[in-house]
Amino acid sequence: MRKILIVDDQVEVRELVEVTLRVEDYEIFQAKSGEEAVEIARAEKPELIIMDIMMPGGMDGLEATRIIKNDPETKDCIIIMLTAKGQQADKEAGLKAGAIEYFAKPFSPLDLIKKVEEVLG
């Protein structure tokens, strides 16, 4: 079963994304912080991570993405940013950190499903 990690500090967003992705048979994990995302990524090695940028604590989504992409154990995780930060500079920062795609909130659940299906084959 393919593993997906959803990272967002807002439980409502994590639940919405999980419900959106339930159309397929994925094993879904949730994290509420950058630190938790890195821990779960190392433990579970998800194929895909859907990552928010702005989160409380010491590690935002950009830093978590850089750590995950620079770790030999987790570097193959595919990361899609899903965040309220919608400026072009934010998008460039997300892609530079290692994400392959960038969705700004509010997002289209249909577009997200299409992208997930595309990257997971």
Please, which pLDDT band fits residue 57 given cuts at 50, 70 and 90? confident
Please, which pLDDT band fits residue 56 given cuts at 50, 70 and 90? confident
Amino acid (1-letter code) at residue 74: T
With a cut of 80, say whether residue 23 has pLDDT above it: no
Q: Match 């920062």 to its residue by tokens.
A: 93
The Cα 116–Cα 107 span in angstroms is: 13
The Cα 97–Cα 84 span in angstroms is: 17
Please, which pLDDT band fits residue 55 given cuts at 50, 70 and 90? very high
Over pLDDT 90: what percentage of the chain? 90
Domain segments of the chain: what residues? 2-114
What is the mean pLDDT of the segment spanning 91-116? 95
pLDDT, position 24: 80
Nearest 10 degrees: Cα torsion 55, 56, 58, 62: 10
What CATH code is assigned to 2-114?
A: 3.40.50.2300
pLDDT, position 22: 86
| Digit-coded pLDDT (tens) for 61-79 | 999 999 999 999 999 999 9
